Amino acid sequence: MPAVLTLNAGSSSLKAEVFGPGGARLWRGAVSEIGAAARLSSDEDDAPVAAPDHAAALSAVMTAAGVRLDGIEAAAHRIVHGGPGLTESTRLTPAVRAAVEAAAALAPLHNPPALAVIDALSALRPALPQVACFDTAFHATMPELARRYALPDRPETAGLRRYGFHGLSYASLVADLAGRLGRPLPRRLLACHLGNGASLCAIDGGRSVATTMGYSPLGGLTMGTRCGDIDGNAVLEIAARSDIATASRILNRESGLRGLAGDSDMRALEAAGTPAADFAMRHFIYWAVRQAGAMVAAMGGCDAIAFTGGIGENAPAIRAGIMDGLAYLGLAYDPGANAAGAMRLDRAGSALIACIHPADEEGWIAREAAAVLSPG
């Protein structure tokens, strides 16, 4: 495996990791609040940094990583949306960059920052190979029945379909879960990537057959600031009462847990002890359980459930609520193991395996880069 720099650009953040030959992690860091009171946090430091834009954030990361970047053979980027044409990780070329830019309208908070980082790195290290890894790619295996909205085939509806997201997390889970369990990958796996962004995926035989997010990361579950599923006419009504930009801001940045309880951080809600915080957490659990039923139906049953992501890995009460809601499937879990965050959560007699799997999108991105650059 070559030495790789992985880069994950958010709307106001940039996460970076350096992997040495063989996949060893050498360094990790992140710039937050880009364009405002930016800070760079790394293995060694946490301090303010001048980062008015993502290009400046990249320069700060490169400086902080320092000697660990010596010998880097490639950079690999998390790209949230690959559009309809980019369905596997690929080396960045002008044509691929143009396709990522064409898909920017589908992920306006993520693709443009990723492009800014790509362009900045190209200017700093023009000879360095770069690889694009797409969050949508894992879901390219969904059948047409799962992908297509019941819309007429017209110019006004062109490209409107379910894509699905968190694919890098799900691909990593599929690749590594069997080894962690010490047994073959369960055939019908309900994967729960729960964090500020949250989704479920029905994974049948290692392939995505359904997922809760759709055309954009807005759909599906209650999330940190996104509302999840909502009637289209309700969206039109919000836009009619304001404008499209305001409607987009409300739905993507001011809804979800924040809209219900004033805070998007599940840890803060757990500590708040207020009726609003309690309702927001129950709302999160209810919709996860309700949509889990749809994922199970898409697979014709369920053999295992895996929790990943910041909430999935670190919120025992949320996991317990979801597993309680899925008891009708024959799922029985050990409350002590759940409270302790153990890898296996199910207890003797459970019809389903239940487990926690640490998310490792960056590690998977590095592996994908290695596969692209050394396909043999």
Torsion of CA 307, 312, 315, 316, to 10 degrees: -10
At position 76, the amino acid (one-letter code) is: A
Distance CA 75, CA 119 (A): 12
Between CA 126 and CA 129 the distance in angstroms is 8
Query: What gap in Å lies between CA 54 and CA 192, rounded to an integer?
Result: 30
CA distances from 183 to 186, 302, 303, 337 (A): 8, 16, 13, 20
Dihedral of CA atoms 258, 259, 260, 261 in degrees, nearest 10, equals 40
Interatomic CA distance for residues 79 and 199, integer angstroms: 17
- Length of the chain as a residue count: 376
Q: What's the maximum distance between 2 C-alpha atoms anywhere in the chain? A: 58
Catalytic residue of the set 119, 135, 278, 324: 135
Q: What span, in angstroms and rounded, lies between the C-alpha atoms of 106 and 89?
A: 18
Residues 291/191, Cβ–Cβ less than 8 Å: no
Enumerate residues 6+ apart whose C-beta is below 8 A from 286: 325
135 flagged as catalytic? yes
Angle between helices 111-124 and 94-102 (to 10 degrees): 160
Collapse the DSSP code of 188 into the 3-class scheme (helix H, G, I; strand E, B; otherwise coil) and give the result: strand
C-alpha–C-alpha distance, residues 373 and 363, integer Å: 16
- Which distant-in-sequence residues (6+ apart) come within 8 Å of 294 by Cβ? 210, 212
Side chain identity at residue 228, one-letter code: G
- CB within 8 Å of 297: residues ≥ 6 apart: none
d(CA 47, CA 297): 48
Separation CA 244–CA 78 (nearest Å): 28
Catalytic sites, residue numbers: 135
